[in-house]
Structure 1
Amino acid sequence: MYGKGIRARSGRVLGVAVAAAAGLSGFGPAAPVQADTFIPLPGGSITRQLADGTNLTVRITGESAKISGSMGSTPVHRNVWTTAVASIDLDGTSASTATIKISPGYVVGCQVDISGLNANSTGGGGYNADLTGASLGTLGANEQMGSGITLGPGQAVARLMLDLERPDDYGQESHKRYNKVPVPHASVSWTDETFSVDGCGGYAQARTFVAAEVDSTTFIGNLVLYGEPFTIG
């Protein structure tokens, strides 16, 4: 996987989580960032009932971002350090037999409103990834966060955080953009994972997302949770 600060974990949990509404408020234009700015973020959670009655809960917790400009104070360059925990929990009929796939990332936009994304979004409006209803094996956000992001006005892109090396069925090296866990709980955490944004002369925004897929013997269920947007200058 990319960044050494990213940790994927699995474990068994008991009980049913109570869903909370994720924040969807946006931020307007902001002055260029000169000093490091720490932004605490509320995270969020969402719960959906799958076809067989199993409850799927996706959460973002412990989320924050730290923003700084370039060393040369160039207004078209920003650096972002992000911290959060993404988790998925199952409770019900398929909880002990299904497989969970989890893939976190960030949507980043330049002079475009990304606050309207929600669990019913389809990835339209110029985003280069269809995150909702897509199989995580074919998710369209093909570049990882550490590669940096170049954006012009009116553009927005999605970037995945995970890049896991695993042998395929023939023993050859393959790369997966999700962590696959055969238990009712999965999580991925990251601390001070950084990416840069270049080329955006106006205000820019970002927001985290967690794409979840549940595979059982009878169905495949998909759900995406978006965090609250935050300004990056």
Structure 2
Amino acid sequence: MNIRKTVARVAGVGAVATAALGLFSTGAANADTFIPLPGGEITQTLSDGTVVTIKLVGESANISGSMGATPVHRNAWVSASAQVQISGDTSATGGKIFPGYVVGCQVTIDGGNVNGGASGGVSWDNSGNATPSASANSGANLTLGPGQAKSFYVLDQEVPDDYGNESHKTRNKFTGNSGSVTWSDETIGLNGCAGYAQARSFVSVEVETDNVISWVTLWGQPFSLG
């Protein structure tokens, strides 16, 4: 079985679930700043003919003054809906969607690669492909210094394991040919960043067929946290 990774520069994701998220801004602002984001759409054909289409719609961020009320505290609410469609000559019967964000302090995160060494929740290769980490936590209350970046997942699903015990998943698993994930006004706080802060959404989708397991990573547009 071949394993292939593909990367794209727009963000999207599929499965029905609500996510949790928050961001930070450099200076304390008294008024909220609403940032509409363009979202995006991408279609990728895998090596066995499977066609994966991902859309990100209704994406936005609302930056507000942090309760910390200092230049090193940021706060934001983020919203979006990610949708996945599988078609073509394929044996795929579903997939897994891992939506998340990368947050950086004085770090460039506007390319496929995430400079500054993004860590925490996602493993990144040199081409900007994102692979979920088994120890990843969802949500974010981050502390970053200059030149640092961290990534985290939006989802935290409580599901029983094989023995009936509680476990947590950072993905939404769907069956059939389509899935989606929607999150609304999810919060994050950033502490410790005295410089320019930036965030960017991403969605990693795993599709498995009889012939291939493929990861497709989709990126949203970077936006300023202040």
The verdict on how the C-alpha distance between 1:201 and 1:133 changes in structure 2, with shifts beyond 3 A counting, is closer
Superposed counterparts of 1:44-59, under 5 Å: 44-59=40-55
Which residue in the other structure is 2:225 paired with? 232
Q: Which amino acid aligns with 2:191?
A: D
Contact 2:60 2:79 in 1 (8 A): yes
Does residue 107 (structure 1) correspond to residue 102 (structure 2)? The answer is yes
Contact 1:58 1:210 in 2 (8 A): no
Aligned length: 201
Contact 1:150 1:200 in 2 (8 A): yes
Contact 1:102 1:211 in 2 (8 A): yes
Contact 2:15 2:174 in 1 (8 A): no
Superposed counterparts of 1:62-81, under 5 Å: 62-71=58-67, 73-81=69-77
Does residue 175 (structure 1) correspond to residue 182 (structure 2)? The answer is no
Sequence identity (%) = 49
Describe the superposition over 1:27-51 as per-residue Cα deviations: whole angstroms up to 9, x where unpaired: xx98653421000000112221112
Which residue in the other structure is 2:158 paired with? 165
- Normalized per residue, the structure richer in strand is 2
Superposed counterparts of 1:65-214, under 5 Å: 65-71=61-67, 73-94=69-90, 97-117=92-112, 121=113, 125-128=116-119, 129-131=122-124, 136=132, 138=133, 142-145=136-139, 147-214=140-207
Describe the superposition over 1:40-89 as per-residue Cα deviations: whole angstroms up to 9, x where unpaired: 00011222111211111122110000001224531110111001001111
The verdict on how the C-alpha distance between 1:31 and 1:172 changes in structure 2, with shifts beyond 3 A counting, is closer
Separation in structure 2 between the aligned mates of residue 9 and residue 188 of structure 1, nearest angstrom: 4
**From 5, 12, 16, the counterpart of 1:9:** 16
Task: Give the gaps of 5 or more residues in structure 2.
Answer: 1-13, 18-24
Q: Which amino acid aligns with 1:144?
A: S
3-state DSSP of counterpart to 1:46: strand
Q: Which amino acid aligns with 1:107?
A: V
Describe the superposition over 1:154-208 as per-residue Cα deviations: whole angstroms up to 9, x where unpaired: 0001110111121222322222110111111111001101111111011100011
Instruction: Provide the TM-score with structure 2 as the length reference.
Output: 0.80
Q: Which amino acid aligns with 1:48?
A: Q
Separation in structure 2 between the aligned mates of residue 113 and residue 124 of structure 1, nearest angstrom: 6
Q: Which amino acid aligns with 2:32?
A: D
The verdict on how the C-alpha distance between 1:75 and 1:170 changes in structure 2, with shifts beyond 3 A counting, is same
